[in-house]
Structure 1
Amino acid sequence: MSDALTIRSVDAVLVMVPMRRVLGTSAMGIAEAPLVLIDLHTGEGITGHAYLFCYLESAGHAVVALARDVSAVLAGTEVSPAAVRRELGARFKLLGARGLVSAVLA
């Protein structure tokens, strides 16, 4: 019996969370935290959870779209950082691994 897990899908949803205090940055104040909630589902029934703070709502929408793309690419891949990095590195080679793509790779 193998202990290896395989990725079934990746789901992502953007939520805007009101902040008690405005976060001041050099560019603007952030009164709502754009968070992308990410669930990685395995074929074996285990689900992993993560979140990503996106600074801008528009960036959150872009991350959700990238996660949708990632879900299709990773389906059937072993749950292993090296295997996932290999698959996603190849997928995003032309875009490069910076900015939002880097955040999704993480």
Structure 2
Amino acid sequence: MGSLKYLVDLELSHNQLSGSIPTTLGDLTDLTTLYLHSNNLNGTIPKELGNLKSLVDLQLSINQPSGSISATLGDLTILTTLFLHSNYLFETILKELGNLQSLVDL
């Protein structure tokens, strides 16, 4: 992600994006908001998103990712909003998500 290292908000919802969610998003460690909802993203949710320790709001709903929810999302301890609905994810809520004590909207 090169010169975007200090990016704080990334809002790319409703843009007809397709393909997998880039693992390089995990390099944007200053992100507080990541909106990728309402696109055509597929594949798995990258474990690298667990590197986004400043993330407060993560919205990946209404896409096509599959598989299980990455346990590394449990490392996002200041996350207040996590939207994963309307996807092809396994319906398992991981015990690691119990670490999200700031979560108020799921």
Q: Which has the larger radius of gyration?
A: 1
TM-score calculated relative to the size of structure 1:
0.24
Larger strand proportion of the pair: 1
Higher relative contact order (Cα pairs below 8 Å, separated by 6+ residues)? 1
